Each structure stands twice: as structure tokens, then as C-alpha cells.
Amino acid sequence: MVESAPGPRGKAVAGGNDQGDQNNFHIIHAFFRDRFNNYFKSLQPAKYLIIEDSLVAVIKFLLSPLDENLQIRGFATLQDVQKIQGPPREQYVQIYIVRPELESVQ
């Protein structure tokens, strides 16, 4: 069930949790999950997925349920220095987030 955002007084806005909103949410979720899954299936050889720390929960939710055929060898966050530096021949897929407080994407 999709929870509606709280209104100005802290309570959920009336009508914000109707069936149409839930259907739209599930359609959007499935679309992005399928796009990510198709991309990860195309990776040869399998890669490590490095995610900006604030995105970990979002990406794990987006990819759920996790497809067993994905070419992902493992997950690491940007703070996990040991995994990021890893063996010199390792190849990674990096996902970044653009935050308003940052002036540029790094």
C-alpha cells in the first residue's frame, strides 16, 4: 500500500491514498525496475554495483524483487573504501545522485 504524504498539519491528506495513486505507483515502479534489470542483464562480465550511500535503500527497493539473472557480482557503497579500491582489474558500475546542495556531479 502506498502511503500518502503528510499535509501541513502532519496528517495524511484526504484522498491521497486512492486506488489510482497506487496503480500509478506500481506502474512507475515496474517500469524503472525493468529498465534497471535490463541494463544489469546486459553487463558482461558481471560488475560490482557501487551506490552513493543515500541511494542504497532506494535502489534496493527499486530492484525488488531482485532478478536472479542480473549480472551483479556484489553491492558496495561509496564509503566502502576497501571494496571500491579492490583489485585493479575489477570493473564497476557507479550510480550517483544529484543533490541540490551540490554544485556539480562528481
Q: Is residue 62 part of a domain?
A: yes
Q: Is residue 100 part of a domain?
A: no
Sequence length of the chain is 106
Asked whether residue 12 is domain-assigned, the answer is: no
63 within domain boundaries: yes
pLDDT for 62-98, tens place per residue? 777 767 776 666 666 666 555 555 555 556 555 555 4
| DSSP symbols for the chain | -PPPPB-TTSSBPTTTT-HHHHHHHHHHHHHHHHHHHHHHHT-SS-EEEEE-GGGHHHHHHHTPSPPTT--EEEEEETT-HHHHH--TT--EEEE----TT-SS--
Task: Give per-residue pLDDT as tens, 19-59.
Answer: 888 888 888 888 888 888 887 777 777 777 777 777 777 77
In this structure, is residue 6 part of a structural domain? no
* Amino acid letter, residue 79: Q
Residue 37 lies in a domain: yes
- Domain of residue 72 covers 19-95
pTM: 0.49
Structural domain contains residue 3: no
> How many structural domains does the chain have?
1
CA distance 82 to 90: 12
45 to each of 30, 40, 53, 100, how far by Cα in Å? 25, 10, 24, 34
4 within some domain:
no
* Residue 33, phi-psi category: left (phi > 0), alpha (psi -120 to 50), beta (remainder): alpha
